[in-house]
A and B are shown apart, each in its own frame.
Chain A
Amino acid sequence: MTKLEFVDLSVRVVGRTLLDRITLSITPGEFVALIGPNGAGKTTLLKAALALRPASSGSVRLANMAVAELDSRRRAALIAWLPQQIRAEEPITSLESVAAARYRFRESHAQSRRAAERALARVGASEYAERAISQLSGGERQRVAFACLVAQEAQLLLFDEPANHLDPAQQLDVYRLLGDLWREGRTIVCINHDINLLHHVGDAASVRVLGLNAGRLAFDARFSDAALPERLGTLFGVEMEALAGAEQRVIIARRRSPP
């Protein structure tokens, strides 16, 4: 099983510390929501896990191997990523884009295309399979990116704000799909700004919520924790309040905390 470990990991770029001695272990089958203010280092943490950001000190280990030393294809079998945005300037069709995401498999192009068709069907994007991704709307493009991730068939899935710029219906679809992938046995790490969206994954109570602030781990809690609103409030510098909905707890920001 694919265990992801950050061992005393620091990432520094000229004069700035992006991640400051993070030690963290993500066990297989977990759903981890990564939350924190802008610039807290959330995206850097995901990129470090993908060996896209070299560690300044410490290390990232994936399936008990240093991730920087893993063979590219082998790494892609273990871990996949949905970036905040995909580049969509080349007017390549959705189907070809998703087929290209099967790079790690040594298979024929016809096989890649069939797998890509299945992945597109799964995310509900079949109707624009033959359209160019440069012509798609933001929501449609996000589905295609999601299909790429599904087609890669990795164990551990990293999501960087998957519901960014989406309307409420599409946000709901995205988080439902995240929940489905999780229940199939995959490990999910998801950067997320709206904590309430986690209700849509189903069984939200067992979601692990990690707070990140200024490159450090601020808290490590469960979604069901009674103290979660307060911790989120401290993290963002606002006063948070939990409202009891008919079925679920909703956490909202009231006002900025007094300085």
Chain B
Amino acid sequence: MKLRVAILIALCIVLLVAAVLVGPDLTGAQGQFIVWQLRVPRVLIGMLVGATLALVGAVFQALFQNPLATSDTVGTTAGATVGALLALALDSSRTVQGLPLVTVCAFAGALTASLLVASFASSRRAHSSDVLLAGIAVTLATSAAASGIQYISDSRALFAATQWSLGQLPQVGYRGVWLLAPLCLVSCTLLLALTRPLQAFALGEELAHSQGVNVPRLRLSALGLGSLGVAACVAWCGPIAFVGLIVPHLVRRVLGPGYRVLLPMSLCVGAATLVSCDLFARLLVPGRELPVGIVTAALGAPALVALVARGRR
């Protein structure tokens, strides 16, 4: 077990280093710029986003006792999409405090949608399945709103919206890293602190309640913290599918499902997975970069089917 954890961590580190080094040979001042101002920040953003999405996915799967729950089950992505579309339809070039209006609106939209669900979840009488339904309802409602906005947008805004919705990691400089790092770190650290009550949740919500877990409070803090991290990631990079769904299942297959291992390892493997997918996206079509969201979805869907086909351990 310990050996497996060590191997997995080593593998993650190798992948992360490789992601910086792989590519056209770089020398001179231009090479320095590409490595330090483009590749390194891009890998760092990939790590932050991948780690956050995977950890939140693992936490939500535990919280909802549902293997299909992901980081956007509570409407985070749908809310972000509405925010982003609204900003693009209004004026995509405007900035707020130096930040693109799209990012600000997507963040606000994501937080609004997920806090709506979280506030419902903190009610004493709500069961996890009710919260899941509330999440689906909010997702559907916001998707409808998004379609409405798309209908009245002009074609330039529509194209920008499509671009945004594919999910990308390219960075110039470290601004994104500085913006995301604090939010992701707070979200992930505090979520990891919930490992113990989440473990009690595994045998059922009511049993956890009888064992002393304050269920409404646990739900509210897990949903609130998770949405905070995911909202930041989605606002900066656009929606990136499947990482939050696949990575926890992958870790569970390899290392077993004890949350004391699953949660921190989802963090590591999530970071390495997204960065590797992005590397792949960078190299697949020479001279053109695919959005990483397409790669994660294209690889994630068959990976999920393969996992399910192999059956439960």
Residues of A within 8 A of B (CB): 47, 50-52, 54, 72-73, 75-77, 79-81, 83, 86-93, 96-97, 99-101, 103-104, 109, 132-134, 145, 148, 152
Does chain A have a CB within 8 A of B213? yes
Chain B facing A: main interface SS: loop
B212 contacts A100, C-beta separation under 8 Å: no
A134 contacts B312, C-beta separation under 8 Å: yes
A104 contacts B257, C-beta separation under 8 Å: no
Rank and list the top 9 A-B pairs by shortest CB-CB distance, nearest first. A76-B212, A104-B212, A87-B204, A100-B199, A81-B210, A72-B214, A73-B212, A100-B200, A90-B202
Using CB atoms, name the residue of chain B closest to A47. B206
Contact mask for chain B residues 253-286; partner A; CB cutoff 8 A; 1 contact, 0 none = 0001110100000000000000000000000000
Task: Report Cα–Cα, A81/B206, bound state, in Å.
Answer: 10
A92 contacts B210, C-beta separation under 8 Å: no
Contacts A54-B125, A101-B200, A103-B213 given; indicate if A91 touches B256 (C-beta within 8 A).
Answer: yes
Task: Report Cα–Cα, A73/B217, bound state, in Å.
Answer: 13
Q: Give min CB distance, B296 to chain A, whole Å.
A: 25
Residues in A whose Cβ lies below 8 Å from that of B258? 92-93, 96
> Contacts A83-B210, A100-B196 given; 18 further ones with Cβ under 8 A?
A50-B206, A50-B210, A72-B212, A77-B212, A83-B206, A87-B65, A90-B257, A92-B203, A96-B260, A97-B203, A100-B202, A100-B203, A101-B211, A103-B196, A132-B313, A133-B203, A148-B211, A152-B211
Using CB atoms, name the residue of chain A closest to B66. A89
Contacts A54-B124, A86-B204 given; indicate if A91 touches B211 (C-beta within 8 A).
Answer: no
Does chain A have a CB within 8 A of B209? yes
Q: Give min CB distance, B209 to chain A, whole Å.
A: 6
Task: Report Cα–Cα, A80/B212, bound state, in Å.
Answer: 9
A and B contact pairs by CB, cutoff 8 A, 27 listed:
A50-B210, A51-B209, A52-B210, A54-B124, A54-B125, A76-B212, A77-B212, A79-B210, A83-B204, A87-B202, A88-B203, A90-B202, A91-B257, A92-B199, A92-B203, A92-B257, A92-B258, A97-B202, A100-B196, A100-B199, A101-B211, A103-B197, A103-B211, A103-B212, A132-B256, A132-B257, A148-B203
Task: Report Cα–Cα, A96/B214, bound state, in Å.
Answer: 20
Task: Report Cα–Cα, A120/B257, bound state, in Å.
Answer: 20
Task: Report Cα–Cα, A100/B195, bound state, in Å.
Answer: 10
- Per the 8 Å Cβ criterion, residues 28-81 of B in contact with A are 65
Using CB atoms, name the residue of chain B closest to A97. B203
Residues in B whose Cβ lies below 8 Å from that of A51? 209
Task: Report Cα–Cα, A50/B208, bound state, in Å.
Answer: 11
Q: Give min CB distance, A63 to chain B, whole Å.
A: 15
B202 contacts A81, C-beta separation under 8 Å: no
Residues in A whose Cβ lies below 8 Å from that of B202? 87, 90, 92, 97, 100
Residues in A whose Cβ lies below 8 Å from that of B213? 72, 103
B209 contacts A52, C-beta separation under 8 Å: yes
Does chain A have a CB within 8 A of B22? no
Task: Report Cα–Cα, A109/B260, bound state, in Å.
Answer: 10
Contact mask for chain B residues 184-203; partner A; CB cutoff 8 A; 1 contact, 0 none = 00000000000011011011
Contact of B203 among A73, A79, A87, A104 (CB under 8 A): A87
Task: Report Cα–Cα, A50/B199, bound state, in Å.
Answer: 20
Task: Report Cα–Cα, A76/B213, bound state, in Å.
Answer: 9
Does chain A have a CB within 8 A of B133? no
B65 contacts A76, C-beta separation under 8 Å: no
Residues in A whose Cβ lies below 8 Å from that of B125? 54
Residues in B whose Cβ lies below 8 Å from that of A97? 202-203
Task: Report Cα–Cα, A145/B197, bound state, in Å.
Answer: 17
Does chain A have a CB within 8 A of B5? no
Residues in B whose Cβ lies below 8 Å from that of A81? 207, 210
B200 contacts A103, C-beta separation under 8 Å: yes
Task: Report Cα–Cα, A228/B204, bound state, in Å.
Answer: 37
- Per the 8 Å Cβ criterion, residues 270-313 of B in contact with A are 312-313
B202, B204, B206, B257 interface centre (most CB from chain A within 10 Å) = B202
Using CB atoms, name the residue of chain B closest to A49. B210
Residues in A whose Cβ lies below 8 Å from that of B207? 81, 83, 86-87, 148
Using CB atoms, name the residue of chain B closest to A85. B204
Contacts A91-B257, A91-B313, A134-B312 given; indicate if A96 touches B211 (C-beta within 8 A).
Answer: no
A52, A76, A103, A132 interface centre (most CB from chain B within 10 Å) = A103
Task: Report Cα–Cα, A148/B204, bound state, in Å.
Answer: 13
B212 contacts A86, C-beta separation under 8 Å: no
Q: Give min CB distance, A233 to chain B, whole Å.
A: 34
Q: Give min CB distance, A92 to chain B, whole Å.
A: 5
Residues in A whose Cβ lies below 8 Å from that of B313? 91, 132
Residues in B whose Cβ lies below 8 Å from that of A99? 199
Task: Report Cα–Cα, A145/B211, bound state, in Å.
Answer: 12
